[in-house]
Amino acid sequence: MTEQSSAPQASTEQSKEPGFRIQRIYLKDLSLEQPNAPQILLVASEPQVQVEIDISAAPLSEGIFEVALSSTVTAKVDAKVLFLVEAKQAGIFEFNNIPAEQIDPMLGIACPTILYPYLRSNIADVISRAGFQPIHLNEINFHGMYEHRLMQAQQEAAAKDGAASESKPH
């Protein structure tokens, strides 16, 4: 009998443990454009490549979030677009018993770090399938990116507060 009574206690103790779980990782969107083909394919110049990365997070339900990592890779030759790849790699992440102040950094740092290798692979693959040498995106310091966003948000909030106090009559 003691085994039965201790089993429910053990399960309730485990349910109080902090937990982080990947529910699913998936490619949400992928597009490739070659607007100036085939003429630009005959140009022998080295392409100039520009890469943009963005992170978004949205709650799906209590403790469950979708995090999406978006990237745009543009290659130009002589100021004309050789190819443009847009990709969005996403994941569904579950947070159990994690303090609220720790969830935002996890959404901005840990989740994108998990998604990024998938995004890199999908972008390199689609560029290769388009007939070009694959472009392997550089590693990204998501912690630094998160800190930079926090600093920008604080500066914007301070600027709004300053503008609001200046507009009030004294």
pLDDT band at 104 (very low <50, low <70, confident <90, very high): very high
Give the pTM.
Answer: 0.80
The pLDDT of residue 157 is above 80: yes
Cβ–Cβ < 8 Å for 63, 96: yes
CATH class of 18-159: alpha beta
The pLDDT of residue 8 is above 60: no
From CA 167, how far away is CA 134, in angstroms rounded? 53
Look up tokens 């997070």; give the residue: 57
From CA 53, how far away is CA 102, in angstroms rounded? 23
Residue 43 has a pLDDT of: 85
From CA 139, how far away is CA 146, in angstroms rounded? 15
The pLDDT of residue 54 is above 50: yes
